[in-house]
Every structure is written in structure tokens, then in C-alpha cells.
Structure 1
Amino acid sequence: MSELQKYPDQYRTVTVEKLINDGFGPRPWYHCIVAECINRQDSQQEMEIIGLIMYSFSYDVYGGRSVFGLELFVKPEHRGHKLGKALMHAKFLHAKEQGCTIAQTLVFHKHLRARQFQASFGYVDQTTEVPDSNRLNFLELMDGSFQDTLKKAEDELKTYKHIEVAGLNFKLQ
């Protein structure tokens, strides 16, 4: 994933084995929801992961239970079909089930589209200094904005369970 997003080398420290152990062991350190593409060619169904969202639960001493966004990625050729939005909504619903009252994430300052995307859900940039392009901005969603986002996620996620686009069927797992 870091290869696809061209992160600086200092962020490429987690191995595939560590991701598997940390996410799918007896006590997962993170959660992951994937968007799969079902490609129906030659009377066979082929599954391909085309997007994912990773997040963890933590505690904020000022806001209480929180969900922390770790990663959101949709393959470039599948962007523009609301898959990222659907993945975010699925994360918010899981956060609601866990009693979260706050959402937080970090976004590279240079990724303006990512910051704008997060802002569309109500995230507010809490960064206190002007970052350089490799710095991370701290974004937060809390109070009434978080509750509004949860309600919207509940309403909209129903339409995202199966999405048909250009002959391909997408579903969230």
C-alpha cells in the first residue's frame, strides 16, 4: 500500500506478516473493511480487492471512545464511484457500534484531495503549526458533527452494499 501511495521511506516499516498477525490474531490491533470487485468474465467470478479502510479504536481523554483512521485506499481505476465514501460510512457505523463519540485521523499536508475528502465528512483540521509537505495534519470529528455523520452513514450505507458500475459488481466485506 505504501508503494501505491508513494509515502516517504520512513513510513515503510510494517511487513505483510506483521499486518496479518496484528490485524487477524486473537486480539486485533486494527480493523479492516475491504471493497471487492466481482468480475464476471467467461462464466467465472473473479474477486479482486479494489479498496480498503483500516482503523483502530482508542480513547481520547477529552472526547472518550474514538475511532482512528489509519488508511483509506481505492485503486485509481475504481475512484469516482463513491467506494471511498462507502468505506468511510462502514467505518463510522462500526465506530457507533463500539460507542465512539469522536473520530480522528492523520493526513499528509500535501494530499489536498484527501484533506478535502475528510472535510466532506465534517473533519476539522486541528494542526497547530504550518506543516511542510511531508508533515501530517491532525483531523478530528466530534460532538454534533460526529453524530450527524453517523446518521448520514446509516442512511447512505444501505445503498452501498452492492454497487454496479460499468458491468462490475462491487460489494463491501
Structure 2
Amino acid sequence: MSERTGWDRRLRVRADGKGLVGHAGVVLLRRCADQVGLTGALAAVLPVGVGHGWRERAAVVVQLAVAIALGAVNLSEAEQLALHHRNLFGPAASDSTTRRTLAALDESALTRMAKARRTVRRHVWSLLHLRPGGFPWLSVAGRRLKGWIVVDMDATVITAASKKERAAATF
């Protein structure tokens, strides 16, 4: 099965309420890292291993970055978030695997990772410059805000009820 077919199968939305996952923005972050080549570029510069239970170090690093973006402040929280999303991204790396991955990052590895990130960033910006009309910068009240990145997502607003004392209705 190709990776694309796997993603399509996992992301299919049904009306039965099954297979839903919180933090839907995590899909955008993770797929973006994969699609622009960041995960692959990191895999090319991080150690590769073999054997039962070996986790690709690039996937561990990307998983950790996504968990931090979702608010994780320690490795245990990062593991719990990854476990929550395992149906989308596969088995989660444990907090101890993540710790070992980070501990193995010496100055040389960090330099290689920085170079890989720069290369991917340069590639993404070159693709954006090829876009008709340029990059969709954010404009507010007729003023262009430079340095902001626009991610246009469609969503459905739903009401949320709370039984907490003095809680007001919210979205």
C-alpha cells in the first residue's frame, strides 16, 4: 500500500462518529512536515538502526515537535499526545525513546538537522514564490501583515455545553 493510500484510508471521515481524533490541526502539521520533505530530510541526517522496536529518529523528532505545538511541556505529555494520535501516525514513541533520541543529538547532529531544515525551508519558499499571485499574506483592515502565514481551514462551529457552575455557552 502506498503512503498516500494509507493516509487517505486513515483520514476518511464518516458520519458514524467513530475514528475521530482531537487536535485536528496535528494532521496539518504532520502532513506538512512529511509533504514538504522535512521528515525525509531529517531521516537522511539522523542515525538509522535496525532491529525489533527501533523507531526512526526523524519520526520521533517530528512527533515531538508536533506535541510541543499542541502544548506538551514534557516527554510524558508528548507520549500521551502521540498515543492519542496513533491511529493516524502509527505507533507512538515512548518518552524514554524520545529522551534517548534527544540525548544522542550532539553538535554535529544538530548542525546537520539545521542544514536540513534550511534546505527544506528554502524549497518551500521557492514553491510559494511560484504561486500565481504570490504568497497569500494576511490583510487586516486593508493593511498587509508581513511575516504571518495564512492557513485557510474550513471548520464547522458546534456548540459546547458545560455543566460547570456559572459556565456560559461557548463554541
Higher RCO by CA contacts (8 Å cutoff, separation 6 or greater): 1
Calculate the TM-score normalised by the size of structure 1: 0.31
Larger-gyration structure (1/2):
2
Hey, which of these two has a bigger chunk of strand by percent? 1
Calculate the TM-score normalised by the size of structure 2: 0.31
Hey, which of these two has a bigger chunk of helix by percent? 2
